[in-house]
Amino acid sequence: MARMKFLCDAERCIECNGCVTACKNENEVPWGVNRRRVVTINDGVVGAEKSISVACMHCSDAPCMAVCPVDCFYRTDDGVVLHDKDLCIGCGYCFYACPFGAPQFPQAGAFGLRGKMDKCTFCAGGPEPDRSDAEFRKYGRNRLAEGKLPACAEMCSTKALLGGDGDVIADIYRERVLRRGRGADLWGWSSAYGVKPGAQPPVQQPAPTRGKS
Amino acid sequence: MRLALRLALLLAAVLALVACSEKEQVAEFKRGKYQGKPDNQSWANDPLPAEFRGGTWAKGDRTAWEEQIKKRQLAQHEYRRIYQ
Ligand code: SF4
Ligand code: SF4
Ligand code: SF4
């Protein structure tokens, strides 16, 4: 098997936040920690609004893994980046290193005491016996060990968010793009921003006066 | 003179080829070897009871587990699911 990855189709995502909710529910993620979130650009601009759902991307050459001073990250044989919470000292280096802001820290108390790092596990738990209570309490559900895929991707209503082996989901995405009659231009700078890198952005229509809730 | 030219050409060829070599830029993967506790593999578990729809594989059989995961992956492909 190649490597487990997420892929979010910006032309399908409707910013329903269902994936965020599914993740919260499946893993009983504490208040204040978002393992997954939906990022929207050009919010409210008709025709230019795009959303993608982002979590840990399980980098092949993970910066978080490289900077952790206590070396508590590991990579599974399926390419999922996980960490050992027993060892984590909550220093926050991984948060600075991560290009996606994936590592999250539960905060408590008046001084914002920072807890141990928590991030998307690709629903693969952590270094505790698979599907045990200890694993669930620390890392959430281990759906891979149940023969399933991450809850966010599996329940996405529009199937914008795909999760699984990079090769397989890339093939699914490619087939979609071809059906839409488009090519490699579908995912990239010009699709997202309507211009080539370095060119002027399009003239934006004024956002509606009543803000979106 | 010819020898000098030959040597110069040889040197140029060697220098040109040096650029073809590539240094490994990806950090070495650490499979289960790190400071923390060891973890076991996803396929080293029994599948769930049938009502939880986790598919079937024999405990420890990586290929069968991968087949099950692949089925789930392709279930995300509604073009195939619906039209075929
Ligand atoms: S569930 Fe799917 S459509 Fe909804 S926000 Fe997440 S990725 Fe977008
Ligand atoms: S936490 Fe960030 S840097 Fe680490 S694997 Fe996930 S996306 Fe990559
Ligand atoms: S917060 Fe924890 S996981 Fe992140 S770099 Fe520090 S010790 Fe490592």
pLDDT digit string (tens) for B31-76?
Answer: 546 788 888 888 988 888 888 888 889 888 999 999 999 999 999 9
For chain A, strand residue ranges (E) read 4-8, 37-41, 50-54, 73-75, 81-83, 107-108, 113-114, 161-165
Residues A123, A142 contacting (CB under 8 angstroms)? yes
Residue of chain B whose alpha carbon sits nearest to that of A155? B76
Report CA(B55)–ligand 1 centroid distance (Å).
25
Domain borders along chain B are: 43-84
Contact residues on chain A for B44, CB-CB shorter than 8 A: 130
Residue closest by Cα to atom 4 of ligand 2:
A64
Cα B44 to Cα A149, B49, B58: the distances in Å are 16, 16, 9
What element of type H or E holds A133?
Answer: helix A133-139
Domain borders along chain A are: 4-193
Residue of chain A whose alpha carbon sits nearest to that of B32? A74
Check whether B20 has a pLDDT greater than 90. Answer: no
Q: Where does the pLDDT of residue A212 fall: very low under 50, low under 70, confident under 90, or very high at 90 and above? A: very low
Residue A187 pLDDT: 63
The CATH code for residues A4-193 is 3.30.70.20
Average pLDDT (A52-57) is 96
Least Cα distance to A136 among A151, A153, A123 occurs for: A123
What is the count of residue pairs from A and B with beta carbons less than 8 Å apart?
Answer: 118
**The whole model's pTM is what?**
0.79
Is A124 within 8 Å of B65 when comparing Cβ atoms?
no
Is A168 within 8 Å of B73 when comparing Cβ atoms?
yes
Q: Which ligand is nearest to the CA of A14?
A: 1
Q: Which residue has the higher pLDDT, A144 or B25?
A: A144
Report CA(A96)–ligand 3 centroid distance (Å).
10
Q: Where does the pLDDT of residue A172 fall: very low under 50, low under 70, confident under 90, or very high at 90 and above? A: very high
Q: Which ligand is nearest to the CA of A11?
A: 1
ipTM over 0.90: no
pLDDT, mean over chain A: 87
Q: Where does the pLDDT of residue A107 fall: very low under 50, low under 70, confident under 90, or very high at 90 and above? A: confident
